[in-house]
Amino acid sequence: MAFSNDVLREALKQVSDRRKKAQREFEKQKSDIYEAHPELSDIDNQMQIKASRAALLMFSGNTFEAEKLQKELNELTVQKARILKSAELPEVPECCCKKCNDTGYCDGKLCECVTDLAASLSYTSLLGDMPLDVSTFDSFDLDYYSEEKNEKGVSPRRQMSAILKICRDFAEKFPEGKNLLFTGSSGLGKTHLSLAIANEVLKKGHSVVYGSAQNLITEVSRETFDRSGSTAKIDSLNSCELLILDDLGTEFSTQLSSSIVYNIINTRLLRGLSTVISTNLDIKQINDTYSERVASRIIGSYTVCPCFGNDIRLIKAKKAKK
Ligand SMILES: [Zn+2]
């Protein structure tokens, strides 16, 4: 698993915040109980006095008196524990993660709770508030695709069913598979499939960055011209285990955006990292919009999944009206 430093730092910070919050709540609960049970402070005082007296007696060799005091101390300890228990104070602050007690580390390694959190952070940081569980493979409904065959004798349903299988295989075997390119007009479920892949790959604990080409290109160009010298965005695009580039071709195309796209695609290919791209453009249009080198990189190393059929958003809208 490889997460950007920013994401890991944030995940560790959140886990540490959890621990501090649990500690604060524990202290608050304890002080409320002391307020409701004034005898507790009394017991504490007595215990302190008896403990130091017992120590002195032990030191002067009067073990008989010391043991007597120790017995009284034990009784007070039991009494105190009984009151605290009846007031429902847990023995220690209640942690979210029982494995690492919210320290973030387990046997000298990062705890699973941190890597899980980092996985969902890298996902949400570029996705905004899009709900993770809406677009899954199970919620991908093939009934929306017509069974009417085209001139090549293939119906949209058959085509999409084959593509769905490719996507499921890709997610299941991740990170073994290579790269996917979804082509076809809007409203055919390309984004749904990309999200479903992201969902499954994240569940397996891999890092995923998801974003529209427009947003990612804007962020990278901002970083390129930023004087601070930070390369966090570019690094995460080049190093996450799965990059999902949604809606390629809808951004305002310039020489800079073309070179950003080429650099991302090329770097990831060289590093053997998977990328999933969805676009309304066909390969010829990719060639025209970006450059021949972008198109040839894609043709050479992506499994192309041409989606076709009717806009299912329109079909859903019509259905909802009825
Ligand atoms: Zn943990």
**Per-residue DSSP letters for 98-167?**
TTTTTSSEETTEE-HHHHHHHHHHHHHHHHTT--TTTS-STT--GGGS-----TTS--HHHHHHHHHHHH
Percent of residues, the chain, with pLDDT higher than 70: 93
In contact, 309 and 159? CB cutoff 8 Å: yes
pLDDT (average), residues 47-52? 92
99-102-105 Cα angle (round to 5): 65
Q: Which has the higher per-residue pLDDT, 91 or 50?
A: 50
In contact, 174 and 206? CB cutoff 8 Å: yes
Does the pLDDT at position 129 exceed 50?
Answer: no
Nearest alpha-carbon partner for 89 in 131, 32, 21, 143: 32
Q: Which tokens is 65 given?
A: 């008196």
Q: Where is 182: in which H helix or E strand?
A: strand 179-183
Backbone angles phi, psi at 314, to 5 degrees: -70, -40
- At residue 163, the pLDDT reads 97
CA of 109 to the centre of ligand 1 (A): 10
pTM value?
0.65
CA of 111 to the centre of ligand 1 (A): 5
CA of 113 to the centre of ligand 1 (A): 4
CA of 206 to the centre of ligand 1 (A): 17
CA of 49 to the centre of ligand 1 (A): 40
Q: How far apart are CA 194 and CA 207, in angstroms?
A: 15
CA of 112 to the centre of ligand 1 (A): 6
310-316-319 Cα angle (round to 5): 115
- At residue 7, the pLDDT reads 76
Does the pLDDT at position 32 exceed 70?
Answer: yes
Q: How far is CA 222 from CA 96, 217, 228, in A?
A: 38, 8, 11
Q: Which has the higher per-residue pLDDT, 16 or 228?
A: 16
CA of 115 to the centre of ligand 1 (A): 9
Contacts of 306 (CB under 8 A, 6+ apart): 159, 183, 184, 282
Please, is 86 exposed, middle or buried when counting C-beta atoms within 10 Å of its C-beta (0-12, 13-18, 19+)? Answer: exposed
- How many residues does this entry show for the chain? 322
Nearest alpha-carbon partner for 29 in 95, 80, 87: 87
Q: Which has the higher per-residue pLDDT, 119 or 221?
A: 221
In contact, 22 and 99? CB cutoff 8 Å: no
pLDDT (average), residues 222-245? 80
Nearest alpha-carbon partner for 291 in 264, 247, 252, 254: 254
CA of 104 to the centre of ligand 1 (A): 5
Does the pLDDT at position 181 exceed 60?
Answer: yes
> Residue 131: is the preceding peptide bond cis (ω within 30°)?
no
Q: Which tokens is 168 given?
A: 């499921």
- 3-class DSSP assignment, residue 245: strand
Report strand pairing: 105-106 vs 109-110.
Answer: antiparallel
